[in-house]
Chains A and B, each alone.
Chain A
Amino acid sequence: MPATAVQRAAGEDPATGPAGAPGAAVEARELRREFGQEWVLRDVSFVLEAGHTLVVLGPNGAGKSTLLRMLATLLRPSAGELRVLGAELPRHAWQARGRIGYLGHDALLYRDLTLAESLAFHARLHGVEGAAARIGELLDAVGLTRRRDQLVRTLSAGQLQRAAVCRCVLHHPALLLLDEPGSHLDPAALETVEPLIGRRPGVTRVIVTHDFEGGLAGADRALALRAEGSVAYEGPAGGLAPGDARSIYAGRSGR
């Protein structure tokens, strides 16, 4: 397969099919994004059904985080069509906001607030009912109850990542956008966050990861991006072997 071609599962054509797809939580068609003169994402198309998980793979600079920020309504596409949770972006972004849980590279927690204060602040922004109980439950789940009155700036990187997971799921989002959710987490910590960001009925997930095996095993769909931001593979996760993903990282062919 030539390096510029897109490998898809037989019978699938997201480039023409996503608009108005029934049951779709995310629909992207010919999505592009440029920064200055440089294109970081080129013609990305996919459909993700509600309740399904999409794993996004690709080498550094392939545009994975940019894609996630577009899905989170934080970046506008330069071209193409994007629909998230039924809302056309960026025009109707307000309809999707509040139903998205975004875990990016930054924790989005104020460093001079305590952990509990910071989560309470987010709970108020999202109108979470029973916020104190919900925060207590989440902190307990990730093993940070003891740190609740500690300033966020004093938390370790792993603790901060666990706190960010709490912030991300605080408002029971229908769509989770997770950018390397396992970063800074040891295996035990990973286990504590798994129930919060793992597969759950009715929750759609888009996960950016460099863990081919784990990512593909836990996903329904896979999207692999080349270094220049084009799609190397889009289709069922089972259709992309970890070895193929490794080749894409190495800058060889689509598969």
Chain B
Amino acid sequence: MIAFRAILAKDLRVELRTLQSLPAMALFAVTTFVIFRFGLDRTSLEGSLAAGVLLVTVLFAALLAINRLFVAERDEGGFDAMRLAPIDLSALFAAKVVALFVYLLVLEAVALPVFAAFFLDSGAGLPPLAAVLALVNVGLAATGAVVSTVGAHSRARDLLTPLVLLPLLVPLMIAAGAAAEPLLAAGGPEYDEVWKWIGTLALYDLTFLLVGYAVYDFLLED
């Protein structure tokens, strides 16, 4: 637990000091919404199209952070430092998942109001949508931390991470889209089918958290 807190505190401190990921993610999201707004030539979106615009934007903004997640560990010897210490290396995985989750929360705190202002007639669906996004964030963070670790040890990391990550995220995005669609329906949020997809999202999150925990030591060995 001490190692987990130390690594998480280090990551958040470095991000606050350097602002290497968060501003880029937020700017990317806002710019993407502007492009969608004028590209689709629509002032209002609902249902699956609204869910798609939001989730695709969050997904690609998340990739920016996932690609940078282990840059310091790779370039500044962090991986070696962790392996020299008498710690359970899953603490590194857990800290990176939480750090990425926090980045995504901050991103959505910026992106969601902009999305609502650009595309939604009513904000009634936003509170339950935030809950769906929280589950999406856990899945993105868990899967992203595992794949980013693999990518960090590869010379083709900039290519490898998205190529491996995106197929793994397809089930998450399908479930997230299905859960978000009725919440963004034209007549206001509908909840009939939502719980089934929330359960699917939770199952996906749990699976990748357990996979990450189980394989992380192995991923860090040479």
Contacts of B40 in A (CB 8 A): none
In this assembly, does B64 line the interface, its C-beta being within 8 Å of a C-beta of chain A?
A: no
Q: Contacts A76-B221, A127-B2; is A102 near B17 (CB within 8 Å)? A: no
Q: Contacts A112-B17, A113-B14; is A90 near B221 (CB within 8 Å)? A: yes
In this assembly, does B193 line the interface, its C-beta being within 8 Å of a C-beta of chain A?
A: no
Q: How far is the CA of A241 from the CA of B222 in the complex (A)?
A: 36
The residue that B83 contacts in the complex, of A97, A104, A107, A121, with Cβ under 8 A, is: A97
Contacts of A127 in B (CB 8 A): 2, 86
The reply to whether A108 and B86 form a contact with Cβ atoms under 8 Å apart is: no
Q: How far is the CA of A117 from the CA of B17 in the complex (A)?
A: 13
Contacts of B86 in A (CB 8 A): 94, 97-99, 126-127
In this assembly, does B156 line the interface, its C-beta being within 8 Å of a C-beta of chain A?
A: no
In this assembly, does A133 line the interface, its C-beta being within 8 Å of a C-beta of chain B?
A: no
Identify which of B21-29, B73-81, B120-128, B172-180 touches chain A: B73-81
B62 nearest CB across to chain A (Å): 22
In this assembly, does A110 line the interface, its C-beta being within 8 Å of a C-beta of chain B?
A: yes
Q: How far is the CA of A100 from the CA of B86 in the complex (A)?
A: 10
Contacts of B221 in A (CB 8 A): 76, 90
When C-beta atoms are compared, the residue in chain B nearest to A153 turns out to be B76
Q: Contacts A74-B222, A76-B222, A125-B6; is A111 near B80 (CB within 8 Å)? A: no
Q: How far is the CA of A35 from the CA of B77 in the complex (A)?
A: 20
- Interface 1/0 per residue, B81-108 and A, CB below 8 Å: 1111111000000000000000000000
In this assembly, does B10 line the interface, its C-beta being within 8 Å of a C-beta of chain A?
A: yes
- Interface 1/0 per residue, B1-25 and A, CB below 8 Å: 0110110001001100110000000
Within 103-126 of A, Cβ neighbours of B (below 8 Å) are at 104, 106-113, 117, 121-122, 124-126
The reply to whether B81 and A108 form a contact with Cβ atoms under 8 Å apart is: yes
In this assembly, does B72 line the interface, its C-beta being within 8 Å of a C-beta of chain A?
A: yes
Q: How far is the CA of A127 from the CA of B2 in the complex (A)?
A: 8
The total of Cβ contacts below 8 Å across the A-B interface reads 71
In this assembly, does A72 line the interface, its C-beta being within 8 Å of a C-beta of chain B?
A: yes
Q: How far is the CA of A34 from the CA of B82 in the complex (A)?
A: 24
The residue that A121 contacts in the complex, of B10, B18, B77, B80, with Cβ under 8 A, is: B10
Q: Give the interface size bracket for A toward B.
A: 20 to 34
Contacts of B87 in A (CB 8 A): 125
Contacts of A250 in B (CB 8 A): none
The reply to whether A113 and B80 form a contact with Cβ atoms under 8 Å apart is: no
Q: How far is the CA of A102 from the CA of B78 in the complex (A)?
A: 13
- Interface 1/0 per residue, B190-222 and A, CB below 8 Å: 000000000000000000000000000000011
In this assembly, does A53 line the interface, its C-beta being within 8 Å of a C-beta of chain B?
A: no
Q: How far is the CA of A12 from the CA of B29 in the complex (A)?
A: 68
The reply to whether A108 and B85 form a contact with Cβ atoms under 8 Å apart is: no
Contacts of B18 in A (CB 8 A): 112
Binding site for A on B (CB under 8 A): 2-3, 5-6, 10, 13-14, 17-18, 72, 76-78, 80-87, 221-222
Binding site for B on A (CB under 8 A): 72-76, 90, 94, 97-100, 102, 104, 106-113, 117, 121-122, 124-127
**21 CB-based A-B contacts, threshold 8 Å:** A73-B83, A74-B80, A74-B83, A74-B84, A75-B222, A76-B222, A90-B221, A94-B86, A97-B83, A102-B84, A106-B77, A108-B81, A108-B84, A109-B76, A111-B72, A112-B17, A113-B10, A113-B13, A117-B13, A124-B3, A125-B81
